[in-house]
A and B are shown apart, each in its own frame.
Chain A
């Protein structure tokens, strides 16, 4: 079964706090890709990161960082020093195995609210 679980439905923090969004995935494929997308109130899904299953190196991009651990099937996303503009719904997603197109399985999303 292919599945992405984002257990945190909603998170609310005060501006400048650090916040971590959890993502756990299930797949039997040895080759797969993981993604994070951001969906602000405007509705557009914005690509944040892609990671393939053979690359467990963590990544940092400005205030954003990602922790990929195959041993626990997790791909968590941390925002450091959060800002009001980070308020959005964040989706973790999985693209498993070989297919003719980049079909994506989305998690249910985490709604992040940053309070001033």
Chain B
């Protein structure tokens, strides 16, 4: 059974037209992450939510926003997609407690975004 679910699997949008990608989880994990992965590259962390606290990576463009209305759901909003934003977007979750324990991240199958 899928534990981190991303919808849709494929998304086509037009240049400049806002788009929202969704992620849900059944693991009850307190941390959720969004990664961008371009072809033949490693995933790049955009931001993460630790519970309700939003943590943006320093080099994430302002064009990318995120919402986490509850524990189970997290959304990635791209306000004005450009051609360079075409990529696979991966959602991940982990259970994190205070201290040094580095818990495993569980990934969804990703949403492949095309920008026309």
Contact = CB atoms under 8 A, between A and B. Distances in A.
A91 B110 CA distance: 16
Contact of B102 (A45, A47, A50): A50
A100 B43 CA distance: 20
B43 A45 contact: yes
A35 B116 CA distance: 36
B41 A42 contact: no
Contacts of B41: 108-109
A98 B55 contact: no
Q: Could you say which of A37, A50, A52, A102 has the most chain B C-beta atoms within 10 Å of its C-beta?
A: A102
A83 B45 CA distance: 31
Given A35-B104, A43-B90, A100-B96, 10 more contacts: A46-B107, A47-B106, A52-B102, A98-B100, A101-B31, A101-B94, A102-B96, A102-B102, A102-B104, A109-B41
Interface of A: 31-33, 35, 37, 42-47, 50, 52, 91, 95, 98, 100-104, 106-109, 111
Interface of B: 31, 33, 40-43, 45, 48, 50, 53, 55, 88, 90, 92, 94, 96, 99-100, 102-110, 112
10 contacts: A37-B107, A42-B109, A43-B88, A43-B110, A44-B107, A44-B109, A100-B50, A100-B96, A102-B31, A106-B42
